[in-house]
């Protein structure tokens, strides 16, 4: 899977591995086949109550969901919205929808009314399955939409509401269930609509085909022993959604289901120790909190073999801290977008700052281009573009966004700035839209963020540019302090940066302290809102000085 470079075309390529399935094979074909092979094997355990589900129980439940959805009129290509925490029921619903041919559209419970309305106005779900406590928010968000829908509650707290658990009622026809044959092949047949990150604007509905998942599954290493997987991500995010499917497709994986709620570091330690977790997927933000927790050495974490951390830039400080605390563990730093998976680091590559791997996904082609679209060579920085036959299909009901997502050669524009070194390792250094200019100098905010992050007492930092007609951008830092470091001052941070970076990278815009930074539901800092918050403070300060 290592990248190879064509110096004439200036393109890096992953290996050419034949697609292992026919285009008539869909996700549910393999899901039901695998579940039938080992009916008594425990497939999932929910950590909150230790409830274990066997493959046979899972199979019967997903079939009932598909059959009961069909009874209420849900058919192929209909959209089913879901705003739910991780659970056995959520997994049944996701796989039942896929078996029926309906399109599952997961949202996050923390989304505000505007975001909920924005996505569901695009996807127009026939039914919305959501947690009881957020039903009023969903109803308020959709009060003026021009499509009809029904809401099903994930709990039984109100007897007057339609219940998602009713989809698990026996149909007395489970044994005769036959998967429908779809009109479109696996590379065109959509099964899910996930939300794009929303870091730079309104989220879009990213449509995934059956082949995009099956091609990814074919890359997973085959093991003869049981792996125990774990993620704290919500269903809304790709790393939380896809385990509901991939863990069923893999024959030797036990999934520990962590319900989507406020994550407690202590619970993560306890779960690794209790369940013998071997692989965990953890966001960089959460991993940083884990590594600095004073209780980390009080638990038996020997079962843990690997940690995958991605979704945003993994700082050099975080990489070094992981290697220090877990010298015998493997850290994998994957690179991709909601739209497409690109690469992953090898065990030792993650220690290099900004490295996201030399392991390119099969059939992928990657080029790095300048602002005029010219291809760049080894070590030259530019925007990363990717091409693969197993990409996302389209943005749902958004032809314009789909067309501008690709260049004229069919490469997806990632919006990320990076480069390949001579060993074929890909480095991602920043978002294209985040690159700042000060007096003609191009500045990567992540470089300054890494310097500030090393200051004792800094919990979170986001470096942004405040527009200025004369210099371009005043480089400015928004910071959340750690508890107990309230005395940390703006002057200390400015001097720290000034002593380590050249003058044009200094914090000429100053430092602003906040109790929290605006985040997407998937845990990424929303820089456009950081800038808005700083500008509000500047305007208030200016107004008060005039009074």
pLDDT tens across the length of the chain (547 residues): 577 899 999 999 988 888 889 999 999 999 999 999 999 999 999 998 999 999 999 999 999 999 999 999 999 999 999 999 999 999 999 999 999 999 999 998 888 898 899 999 999 999 999 999 999 999 999 999 999 999 999 987 777 889 999 999 999 999 999 999 998 999 999 999 999 866 555 778 999 999 988 988 777 666 667 899 999 888 988 889 999 999 999 888 999 999 866 778 999 999 999 999 999 999 887 898 899 898 999 999 999 999 999 877 788 888 989 999 999 999 999 988 888 888 888 888 888 888 998 888 888 899 999 989 999 999 999 999 999 887 788 999 999 989 999 999 999 999 888 999 999 999 998 777 777 888 877 788 888 998 999 899 999 999 999 988 778 889 999 999 998 999 999 999 999 999 999 898 999 999 999 999 988 765 678 888 899 999 999 887 654 554 3
Domains with residue ranges and CATH for the chain: 23-361 (3.40.50.12780), 435-546 (3.30.300.30)
Alpha helices in 178-264 (DSSP H): 210-217, 238-241, 243-249
- Strands (E) across 38-78 are located at 42-46, 51-54
Number of CB atoms found within 10 A of residue 335's CB: 27
C-alpha 354/C-alpha 375 separation (Å) is 21
Sheet holding 334-336, edge to edge: 334-336, 341-344, 359-360
List Cβ neighbours of 491 (8 Å cut-off, separation of 6 or more): none
Quote the CA–CA distance of 102 and 79 in Å, as a whole number. 6
Structure confidence at residue 547 (pLDDT): 39
* Alpha-carbon distances of 479 from 101, 280, 482, 514, rounded to whole Å: 46, 28, 10, 6
């Amino acid at each position: 899977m290592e990248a190879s470079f064509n110096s004439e075309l200036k393109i890096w390529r992953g290996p050419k591995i034949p697609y292992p399935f026919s285009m008539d094979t869909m996700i549910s074909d393999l899901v039901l086949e695998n579940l039938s092979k080992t009916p008594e094997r425990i497939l999932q355990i929910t950590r909150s109550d230790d409830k274990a589900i066997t493959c046979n129980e899972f199979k019967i439940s997903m079939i009932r969901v598909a059959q009961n959805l069909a009874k209420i009129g849900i058919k192929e290509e209909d959209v089913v919205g879901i705003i739910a925490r991780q659970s056995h029921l959520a997994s049944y619903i996701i796989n039942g929808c896929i078996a029926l041919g309906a399109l599952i559209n997961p949202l996050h419970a923390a989304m505000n009314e505007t975001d909920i309305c924005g996505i569901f106005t695009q996807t127009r779900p026939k039914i919305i399955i959501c947690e009881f406590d957020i039903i009023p928010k969903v109803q308020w968000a959709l009060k003026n939409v021009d499509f009809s829908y029904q809401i099903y509650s994930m709990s039984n707290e109100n007897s007057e509401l339609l219940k998602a658990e009713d989809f698990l009622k026996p149909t007395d026809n489970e044994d005769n269930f036959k998967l429908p044959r779809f009109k479109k092949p696996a590379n065109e047949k959509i099964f899910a609509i996930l939300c794009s990150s929303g870091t730079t604007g309104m989220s879009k509905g990213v449509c995934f085909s059956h082949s995009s998942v099956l091609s990814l599954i074919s890359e997973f290493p085959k093991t003869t022993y049981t792996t125990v997987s774990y993620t704290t991500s919500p269903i809304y995010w790709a790393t939380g959604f896809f385990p509901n499917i991939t863990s069923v497709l893999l024959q030797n994986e036990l999934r520990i289901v962590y319900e989507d709620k406020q994550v407690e570091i202590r619970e993560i330690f306890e779960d690794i120790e209790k369940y013998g977790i071997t692989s965990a997927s953890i966001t960089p933000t959460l991993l940083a909190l884990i590594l600095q927790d004073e209780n980390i050495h009080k638990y038996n974490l020997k079962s843990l073999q690997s940690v995958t951390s991605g979704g945003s830039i993994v700082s050099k400080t975080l990489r070094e801290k992981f290697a220090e605390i877990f010298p015998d563990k493997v850290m994998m730093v994957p690179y991709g977008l909601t739209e497409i998976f690109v690469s992953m680091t090898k065990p030792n590559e993650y220690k290099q700052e900004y490295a996201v791997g030399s392991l390119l996904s099969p059939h992928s082609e990657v080029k790095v281009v300048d602002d005029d679209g010219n291809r760049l060579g080894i070590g030259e920085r530019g925007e990363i573009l990717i091409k693969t036959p197993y990409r996302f299909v389209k943005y749902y009901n958004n032809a314009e966004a789909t067309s501008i997502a690709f260049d004229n050669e069919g490469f997806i524009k990632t919006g990320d700035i990076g480069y390949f070194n001579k060993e074929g390792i890909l480095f991602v250094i920043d978002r294209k839209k985040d690159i700042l200019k000060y007096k003609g100098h191009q500045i990567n905010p992540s470089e300054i963020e890494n310097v500030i992050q090393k200051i004792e007492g800094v919990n979170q930092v986001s470096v942004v540019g405040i527009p200025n007609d004369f210099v371009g951008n005043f480089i400015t830092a928004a910071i959340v302090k750690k508890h107990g470091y309230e005395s940390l001052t703006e002057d200390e941070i400015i001097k720290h940066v000034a002593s380590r970076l050249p003058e044009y990278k200094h914090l000429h815009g100053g430092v602003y302290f906040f109790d929290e930074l605006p985040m997407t539901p998937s845990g990424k800092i929303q820089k456009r809102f950081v800038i808005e918050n700083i500008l509000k403070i500047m305007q208030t300060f200016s107004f008060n000085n005039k009074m």
